[in-house]
Structure 1
Amino acid sequence: MTTNNTSTTQQTIKFGADRLTIEDVCAIANGAHAEMNNDAAFNEKIDRGVAFLERLLKDEGVIYGVTTGYGDSCTVAIPPKLVDELPLHLTRFHGCGLGEVLAPQQARAVLATRLCSLSQGVSGVSHELLNQLVTLINHDIVPRIPEEGSVGASGDLTPLSYVAATLIGERDVIYKGEVRPTAEVFNELGITPIQLRPKEGLALMNGTSVMTALACLAYKRAEYLAQMATKITAMVSVAMQGNDFHFDEALFAVKPHPGQQLIASWLRSDLQAERPPRNSDRLQDRYSLRCAPHVIGVLQDSLPWLRQMIENELNSANDNPIIDGDNERVLHGGHFYGGHIAMAMDTLKTAVANIADLLDRQMAQLMDYKFNNGLPFNLTGAMGERKPINHGFKAVQIGISAWTAEALKHTMPASVFSRSTECHNQDKVSMGTIASRDCLRVLQLTEQVTAASLLAATQAIELRKRDEELNASHLSPALTKMNEAVLEHFEPVIEDRPLEQDLRLFIDMIQHQHWPLYR
């Protein structure tokens, strides 16, 4: 549930109350504050789990990961005098992550997803631990989390060890843009490191929170890309003098995928203008225009069930064992297995890569004088004697193909590459975090394709206008608005110039969802 703090206008997300949404996690990732539910029933549920664990320990009960070793070492009994040290060792021996470090936005999302899981009240953690996670979020203290080292079961052990280490004042954090020792930042801000209780190291680390955090961020980016690809398709259709009857409502009524129908309706709205004279008598446009609703519609139709899978994982208790304080039971299972996120991300990255491929094919048509119905080759804006030495978007189109090829290469499903690890205790694992990371890479590449396609489509429209083949009556209000918005930041290419900075600017604007597109 999302609320607003009226005194500071700072958005605040409440944990331990209603189900959280993908948007709530993204809000935390982008700077929103967190607060715990203060309801008496919630507080009592947390207390019952902690009290039950304490009684079991006094009675010398056997609890996995509390009075035993971890994983294949579950048969190793821990002497009572060493039980309190066990979670500290868990955090430390998992401090072996490698690769790039998660961006602060991503690490904040990890804090939110882990806090949401532990707030289900069946992990046996204390209020002190939950409040320490809230403190990190609200002070914008971000654990430095290397992205590599998780097989997605038992959860995200290695990357989440960096969260656990931060709570106890160890390792490094990113604070005000700098990587600094956690202990130093805590001392500066007067934050007291917590001491992990016997189950708390396992509760923090043995879950799916890294893959789920990345999935939430990926979902919102993909949702926007479906809209951007639709808008660009409409622009390309106008620039190519395409046929708007391909998106007729009656046509789509007979193939009733709701997402596909929605994309077609957006295209109809964008193309609702006077049709300009055409240089082609082609009855049917090539597939990358004619079938655009069918391609983008696959992504659009996937979003509802992807949301269900991601949000169910987000709002789950996904560690092991589950501590049922109400009925005083310890439930040993495998909720750390990230198969649902793995499937969601393998699916999403494939749908997104198809968007890159669609736009790549549209751009190939748009820049090829043999197919673009009279536009200059490579969309060069030069004229007269300057035309032969100018090459317009030639290299950009090569780049689009390169980025698309790499995106398509990353669609190999990660979830089928399970490895048997940890003395064959973890003999079937999800690879969910790798799938999430792959999806983010595909999104980045597709956003690059999208930015380049947006500039090329704008260039094409401006060339038609310059040559008096288009005028204001030929563009719908929606496309006029989009075209003007792009031209606020982009000068059409007449003489060749480097376009890297233009591309980087528009990639950034796409990633920050700069333009509201469809509602």
Structure 2
Amino acid sequence: MHLAELKNLSAADQRRAVCFDQGRLTIEDIVDIASGAAQVTLSAEPAFRAAISRGADFLDRLLSEDGTIYGVTTGYGDSCTVNVPAELIPELPHHLYAYHGCGLGELFSPAQTRAIMAARLASLSKGYSGVSVGLLEQITRLLKENLLPLIPSEGSVGASGDLTPLSYLAAVLCGEREVWRDGTKVPAAEALATAGITPLRLRPKEGLAIMNGTAVMTALACLAYQRAEYLVRIATRITAMASFALDGNAHHFDETLFAVKPHAGQQQVAAWLRQDLPTDDAPRNQKRLQDRYSIRCAPHVIGVLADALPWMRASIENELNSANDNPIIDGENERVLHGGHFYGGHIAFVMDSMKNAVANVADLLDRQMALLVDSRYNHGLPANLSGADGARASINHGLKALQISSSAWTAEALKQTMPASVFSRSTECHNQDKVSMGTIAARDCLRVLQLTEQVVAALLISVRQGVWLRCKQEGAPQPQQNLQQMMELLTVDIAVVQEDRMLEPDLRLLLERIRLQHWQLYQ
């Protein structure tokens, strides 16, 4: 391609492409699609398209032979005993999304919606759902045009999959309900017409295939995983800065010490702390023998999350790369397999576990802040980390209120850790009598992550202030290179607090930095 042609490419055309076929996708693929860093393509390989068509063609043959197929020639759920007359079969998929249009609550964000659509496309692309290539192309086209269904976040019990929220995707594919278009709510029919997209008329099983799966909870789990992974790193850097500000004992992170308790994630956190905190800055007898737990045991707290991430990734990516609707259509062997792959138990367990580990990190950081602002425990720093001098110190209160807010966010995060998966409810005339609650668990986990990131923002202000105050003291050691660089980066965004000021703008800026993973930590 000529240079002139390259210059004419739009920014969207230069994004990396994530190809949907029967291959394996990663969490990062979904996260990048959600953020707009990647674009979706559907494989044009003849073998892939033939595999998709095989299932749809088999269903057509089965229908012509008067076969009984759940959700195709029968009603749904407990209504599976109701036979649908042949002349009404084409209408059935449209009734499915119509009566499931009862979601409430906040709408999923555009990024979350892109992730949901990508997760559903991934499952349908496995070739075991009995859908047409045209359906996959329609989802792909919506993503490329950035026409995103308005999906309410509440109404799924996580089995039979995410029926109610995914009904909004099914409806939009058919030109009904509303979409986001350039940040504006627009009727789906209008948006599709403007983009030159013909609304679908769903084939017999396609409504069920779109809706009867775990795409919503799986998409949210992918987004949660990315944030939790970064939390491990930023919480470790904050711990190092807190230890320095408190004149802590870096020997608590000794390599030999951690070799005797071989949790790999915990050892990694300790190793990162050793990069940030040199252990030869003072003889051992000049340091306190033991720091308080929120410093000394930080690798043991952050390490729980670090050690959980690998198995969490495995469970999330297995779900992402599964055919998770019902029935499964085996076009190759011409079989209809009735099961329960819509059940989101693995995602529910991961999300319940993740929010517990994440909230514990919030609690750890909140305890570190409590030490930093308290002149009884911060080893010579001013009360509330106030930077005011002389007579003005009497009217300045430093980070007193910030510590209160941090404590409030931490308490709310801890309150959210009740596992959702144990609150199964019998629904739908006792057909869905054991359900996963995976989507509620995922929504809870994202809320816990949001609150914990708010605590992180508060701690970044606190440790930046604490390190600055420590370095001002006569004869004080200077931070090692990693911490010095972090201080320089934070200085760009956060002025030291010498006179009391409103800190909300600082917090909001830091939250944006955290969510964009602005600081590259521990290569």
Q: Same fold (TM over 0.5)?
A: yes
Judged with a 3 Å threshold, the aligned counterparts in structure 2 of structure 1 residues 469 and 232 are, in CA distance, closer, same or farther, namely farther
Q: Distance in 2 between matches of 1:186 and 1:46?
A: 24
Matched, 1:449 2:452: no
Matched, 1:385 2:391: yes
Q: Distance in 2 between matches of 1:177 and 1:352?
A: 31
Equivalent residue number for residue 509 of structure 1: 513
Q: Distance in 1 between matches of 2:452 and 2:490?
A: 19
1:51-72, CA deviations, whole angstroms, 9 ceiling, x for partnerless residues? 1000011011000000000000
TM-score (norm 1): 0.97
Equivalent residue number for residue 43 of structure 2: 37
Structure 1 position 230, deviation (Å)? 0.0
Structure 1 position 136, deviation (Å)? 1.0
The 3-state SS of whatever aligns with 2:17 is: strand
Structure 1 position 281, deviation (Å)? 5.0
The 3-state SS of whatever aligns with 2:421 is: coil
Question: Which one-letter code corresponds to 1:304 in the other structure?
Answer: P
Equivalent residue number for residue 207 of structure 1: 213
Structure 1 position 10, deviation (Å)? 1.3
Matched, 1:341 2:347: yes
CA contact (8 A) 1:216 1:310 kept: yes
For 1:44-83, list aligned pairs within 5 A. 44-83=50-89
Indicate the RMSD between aligned Cα atoms, in angstroms.
1.6
Aligned length: 514
Equivalent residue number for residue 107 of structure 2: 101
CA contact (8 A) 2:344 2:437 kept: yes
Equivalent residue number for residue 235 of structure 1: 241
Q: Distance in 2 between matches of 1:134 and 1:53?
A: 23
Equivalent residue number for residue 501 of structure 2: 497
Q: Distance in 2 between matches of 1:6 and 1:488?
A: 28
The one of 470, 495, 505 aligned to 1:464: 470
The 3-state SS of whatever aligns with 1:415 is: helix
Equivalent residue number for residue 411 of structure 2: 405
For 1:241-320, list aligned pairs within 5 A. 241-272=247-278, 275=281, 281-320=287-326
CA contact (8 A) 1:169 1:186 kept: yes
Judged with a 3 Å threshold, the aligned counterparts in structure 2 of structure 1 residues 158 and 280 are, in CA distance, closer, same or farther, namely farther
For 1:86-125, list aligned pairs within 5 A. 86-125=92-131
Q: Distance in 1 between matches of 2:402 and 2:282?
A: 28
1:287-344, CA deviations, whole angstroms, 9 ceiling, x for partnerless residues? 0000000000000000000000000000000000000000000000000000000000
The one of 479, 482, 495 aligned to 1:478: 482
Question: Which one-letter code corresponds to 2:213 in the other structure?
Answer: G
The one of 19, 34, 41 aligned to 2:24: 19
Judged with a 3 Å threshold, the aligned counterparts in structure 2 of structure 1 residues 7 and 395 are, in CA distance, closer, same or farther, namely closer
CA contact (8 A) 2:152 2:165 kept: yes
Equivalent residue number for residue 376 of structure 2: 370
CA contact (8 A) 1:157 1:207 kept: yes
CA contact (8 A) 1:5 1:12 kept: no
Structure 1 position 468, deviation (Å)? 3.5
Q: Distance in 1 between matches of 2:464 and 2:320?
A: 40
CA contact (8 A) 1:173 1:182 kept: yes
Structure 1 position 470, deviation (Å)? 3.5
1:246-272, CA deviations, whole angstroms, 9 ceiling, x for partnerless residues? 000000000000000000000000113
Q: Distance in 1 between matches of 2:475 and 2:396?
A: 22
Matched, 1:132 2:132: no
Question: Which one-letter code corresponds to 1:371 in the other structure?
Answer: Y
Q: Distance in 2 between matches of 1:8 and 1:345?
A: 34
The 3-state SS of whatever aligns with 2:180 is: strand
- Which range moves more in the overlay, 309-318 or 16-25? 16-25
CA contact (8 A) 1:69 1:78 kept: yes
Structure 1 position 364, deviation (Å)? 0.5
Structure 1 position 151, deviation (Å)? 0.2
Q: Distance in 1 between matches of 2:13 and 2:153?
A: 34
Equivalent residue number for residue 442 of structure 2: 436
Percent of aligned pairs with the same amino acid: 63
Q: Distance in 1 between matches of 2:149 and 2:285?
A: 59
CA contact (8 A) 2:251 2:279 kept: no
Question: Which one-letter code corresponds to 2:31 in the other structure?
Answer: C
Q: Distance in 1 between matches of 2:242 and 2:282?
A: 14
CA contact (8 A) 1:274 1:475 kept: no
Matched, 1:217 2:223: yes
CA contact (8 A) 2:248 2:287 kept: no
Judged with a 3 Å threshold, the aligned counterparts in structure 2 of structure 1 residues 278 and 365 are, in CA distance, closer, same or farther, namely farther
Q: Structure 1: which 5+ residue stretches go unaligned? A: none
TM-score (norm 2): 0.96
Q: Distance in 2 between matches of 1:475 and 1:307?
A: 35
CA contact (8 A) 2:176 2:187 kept: yes
